[in-house]
Amino acid sequence: MPTASKTISQVFEEFLTDQEARLSPSTFSKYGSIISLFESYLESYWPGHDQEEYDRITEQGGTFCGTFAPDEIPEGYSEFLGYFMPRKVMCGKDTMKAAGTVTKKLAKWLAEKGYVEDTADAQERAQEATRDLPAAQEVLDLLVEYVDCNAPDAYRDTLEDHFSVTKIEPGKLWLEPLTTGDKVIGPVSVPVEVTEICRKSWDIFGVVVKTSRGWRFLEVWSVSP
């Protein structure tokens, strides 16, 4: 059975202490940054717990990581890696990749220490993030640069939404809006490099507009795998 005698905060400290002995100072600094971001996510979103529980604990001065046991940690992996990192954290590809690397190491370590019985799913999710998060950040960087240089002056049919990528061809994306309708928009012209990296079902948050030459991005704020 998982060990429940320590809080998440205590286990995070133990994990970082164990890693410091084997890592270079620069790599250890990255580990500390990712754990800090993960802790920030947990304290903000309280995965697996409702508002009533949040209110009850915080009114008494409690925190998520100072209250719950480490077997709660894997519950946050999907939202932290799939939502919080790509949409809430401004950083480069190296930090995005580190998010996957560090959380995978953490999940493996939790199982080895006996704090969580089985972390196979969490390790797999983290491995996917190691590949997908830096790729999504590269797509975002390319799209932002493209929009800065090619923003249309005249347009209509402005749509601001989260768009799911449904089809990809060289230099072209087809997008399905999440909230503004069920009609797929496309083709949306983008750099060929974007379509070489981007994958179906990825989420692009921004603004698309209709121009005399077809659909174009006007703003792009995030790309989530």
Note the residue count of the chain: 225
23 and 105 housed in the same domain: yes
Residue 146 lies in a domain: no
What CATH number does residue 206 fall under?
Answer: 2.40.50
Residue carrying the six token digits 């915080």: 58
Residue 165 lies in a domain: yes
Q: Does pTM top 0.75 for this prediction?
A: yes
Ordered DSSP codes for 65-124: HHHS-GGGGGGGHHHIIIIIHHHH----HHHHHHHHHHHHHHHHHHHHHTSSS--HHHHH
Question: Is there a single domain that holds both residue 86 and residue 181?
Answer: no
Q: What average pLDDT does the segment 134-149 reach?
A: 96
21 and 130 assigned to the same domain: yes
62 phi and psi, to 5 degrees?
-85, 165
Of the pLDDT bands very low, low, confident and very high (cuts 50, 70, 90), residue 1 is very low
pLDDT at 39: 98
By C-alpha distance, which of 210, 213, 172, 164 is closest to 190? 172
For 63, phi then psi, to 5°, come to: -130, 165
Show the tokens assigned to 142: 């390319």
Domain extent, residue 70, equals 8-134
pLDDT on residue 156: 87
pLDDT value at position 2?
41
Q: What is the pLDDT of residues 165-219, one digit of tens each?
A: 999 999 999 999 999 877 899 999 999 999 999 999 999 999 999 999 899 999 9
DSSP letters along 145-178, please? HHHHHH--SS-EEEEEEEEEEEEEETTEEEEEES
Interval 118-135 mean pLDDT = 97
- Reply yes or no on whether the pLDDT at 108 is more than 60: yes
What is the C-alpha to C-alpha distance for residues 129 and 136, in angstroms, rounded to an integer? 10
18-76 residue pLDDT tens: 999 999 999 999 999 999 999 999 999 999 999 999 999 999 999 999 999 999 999 99
Under a CB-based contact definition with an 8 Å cutoff, are residues 209 and 218 in contact? yes
CA-nearest of 33, 102, 30 to 73 is 102
Label residue 5 by pLDDT band (50, 70, 90): confident
pLDDT of 3 strictly over 70: no
Contact 2, 70 (CB under 8 A): yes
